[in-house]
A = this chain, B = another copy of it.
Amino acid sequence: MQQFDTYINQHQSEFLSELKTFCAQPSISATGEGIEAMAGLVREKMAGLGASVQKLEIGPADPPVVYASLGQGERTLLIYNHYDVQPVDPIELWDSPPFEPTEREGKIYGRGVSDNKGNLLYRIQAIRAWQETMGPLPFKINWFIEGSEETGSPNLEPFCLQHGELLKADGCLWEMGGVDEADRPMFTLGAKGLLYVELSVQVMNGDQHSALGTIAPDAVWRLVWALQTLKAPDETILLDGLWDHVAPLSDIDLELLRAIPFEEEKMMANMGISQWAGGVSGFEALKRHLFGPTCTINGIEGGYTGPGQKTVLPARAKAKVSFRLVPNLTPELVTNLLREHLDRRGFSDINIDILGGEHPGKTSATAHVVQAAIAAANEVYPDSPVIYPLTPGTGPVWPVAVAHGTPMVSFGASYPGQNLHAPNENIRLDDYFKALKMMGRFIREFGRK
């Protein structure tokens, strides 16, 4: 890899200039600003690698997907990135304008530099460096670069499930990644799913005077009684049947978990709490955080909530409840369990509206794509990668990769000080060039017979 590394070292300023050009182009999916122009820049870069490029329409009003195919070989790598960025507000907190990328103290600042333009561009540049120094790619790449990730990819799942042929691959490189507080590379092998519902109830045709609270029903009480059957004060989720479907942790999962740093004191101090909910701590808390499902009340509303007192007996109440889903829970399964759980307890009057659903997606650490990434990281970083078998958040890992039998891994150029989705988003140049060098080794390892 000597020639590859030399090429990278010699092209640093060109690479940074390309990164600044990418970041100077607004591409805010929430408003549509610059989306088409950015998709054009991405298509240009892909064409420059010799790829055949298609523009895919996800939904009539959605930003287009740039879909690029390049390389030849027995194996196929799917890469998932996105070219859209978050809005810039509060703009007054930026030290330099968000779309004027600026270098300061070994960092480059600008909206999107970490999420996700840096992680998209180092991959492009590594492939170019490979082509210039190592020859043709040793496998085929199908690259799926969407433009609505920051607005929740609302129409991605049905599209992906209908177009498996575009996505099926031997491994998938996910959009983001970086190093942790101790500069160890962090890999993620999956994401939790989500079921987000609104529970609502109407107990009378209208509000009544609360003097009738003796014998007339109260919608808020009804909702509280239904909710309290779902989770105990010790944080145990009580939804009937849920735990029968939760996949046990494998020995590898447990081994990986034990290697994950967990700065719980610092996390708790930041939140202003002195212990975790449910009284767990240490390894148990980490295990629950990374591998546990949730049952969260995201919001609740009913009756009079203004200042002072109003003696009203509320006819209607509602709560937003969400479940983070771990393997093998699915939105459909948990919806059915919830309906049956409520009906079994006489709460058939509680209505369930589904507001969102996403399957969990998890890859085995023994997958070739993961092993290739580990081998690559070990050549570039002083520490071995910390591997997160599952992340607490949710993303479209399932429809893009896991639903098609494609294992995934995520690594990249970010770091904890990136100011994700916030003013002064930035990456460190050193991380960027390390990720570039790692990508070269990953290409070699993934292509290895």
The one of B204, B209, B319, B324 that contacts A273, using a Cβ cutoff of 8 Å: B204
The answer to whether A314 touches B297, judged by C-beta atoms less than 8 angstroms apart, is yes
A331 to chain B: closest CB distance in Å?
12
- A196–B204 Cα gap in the complex (Å)? 23
The answer to whether B285 touches A211, judged by C-beta atoms less than 8 angstroms apart, is no
What residues on B are CB-neighbors of A303 within 8 Å? 297-300, 320
Residue-wise interface mask of A (376-397) relative to B, using a CB-CB cutoff of 8 A (1 in contact, 0 not):
0000000000000001111000
Q: Does A310 contact B (CB under 8 A)?
A: yes
A6-14, A27-35, A138-146, A212-220: which lies at the B interface?
A: A212-220
What residues on B are CB-neighbors of A213 within 8 Å? 294-296, 322, 324
Residue of B nearest to A356 (CB): B309
Known: A228-B225, A285-B215, A301-B305. A393 touches B310 (CB 8 A): no
Interface secondary structure of A, over-half rule: mixed
- A194–B213 Cα gap in the complex (Å)? 12
Besides A211-B392, A221-B231, A225-B228, 6 more A-B contacts (Cβ < 8 Å) are: A208-B271, A212-B392, A225-B233, A296-B313, A299-B303, A304-B320
A291 to chain B: closest CB distance in Å?
9
Residue of B nearest to A354 (CB): B309
Residue-wise interface mask of A (213-256) relative to B, using a CB-CB cutoff of 8 A (1 in contact, 0 not):
11111101100110110010100000000000000000000000
Known: A299-B302, A320-B303. A217 touches B277 (CB 8 A): yes
Interface residues of A in 132-176 (CB under 8 A from B): none
Interface residues of A in 282-334 (CB under 8 A from B): 285, 288-290, 292, 294-305, 308-314, 317-320, 322, 324
A298 to chain B: closest CB distance in Å?
5
The answer to whether A214 touches B324, judged by C-beta atoms less than 8 angstroms apart, is yes
What 3 pairs across the A-B complex have the smallest Cβ distances? Answer: A205-B272, A299-B303, A213-B296
What are 9 sample pairs from A and B whose C-beta atoms fall under 8 A apart?
A204-B272, A211-B324, A212-B289, A213-B296, A220-B319, A221-B231, A221-B296, A299-B302, A309-B320
- A314–B301 Cα gap in the complex (Å)? 13
Q: Does A210 contact B (CB under 8 A)?
A: yes
The answer to whether A311 touches B196, judged by C-beta atoms less than 8 angstroms apart, is yes
Q: Interface size for chain A: under 10, 10 to 19, 20 to 34, or 35 or more residues? A: 35 or more
Residue of B nearest to A272 (CB): B205
- A300–B220 Cα gap in the complex (Å)? 7
The answer to whether B224 touches A297, judged by C-beta atoms less than 8 angstroms apart, is yes
Known: A233-B225, A277-B216, A309-B196. A393 touches B211 (CB 8 A): yes
Q: Does A41 contact B (CB under 8 A)?
A: no
* A residues with CB within 8 A of B: 192, 194, 196, 203-206, 208-218, 220-221, 224-225, 227-228, 231, 233, 271-273, 276-278, 280, 285, 288-290, 292, 294-305, 308-314, 317-320, 322, 324, 355-356, 391-394
- A285–B324 Cα gap in the complex (Å)? 43
A232 to chain B: closest CB distance in Å?
8
A327 to chain B: closest CB distance in Å?
15
What residues on B are CB-neighbors of A305 within 8 Å? 299-301, 318, 320
- A296–B320 Cα gap in the complex (Å)? 22
The one of B192, B205, B220, B280 that contacts A299, using a Cβ cutoff of 8 Å: B220
Residue of B nearest to A227 (CB): B224
- A394–B310 Cα gap in the complex (Å)? 13
The answer to whether B216 touches A224, judged by C-beta atoms less than 8 angstroms apart, is no
The answer to whether B300 touches A322, judged by C-beta atoms less than 8 angstroms apart, is no
- A392–B196 Cα gap in the complex (Å)? 40
The answer to whether A210 touches B322, judged by C-beta atoms less than 8 angstroms apart, is yes
Residue of B nearest to A391 (CB): B211
The one of B208, B224, B272, B393 that contacts A228, using a Cβ cutoff of 8 Å: B224
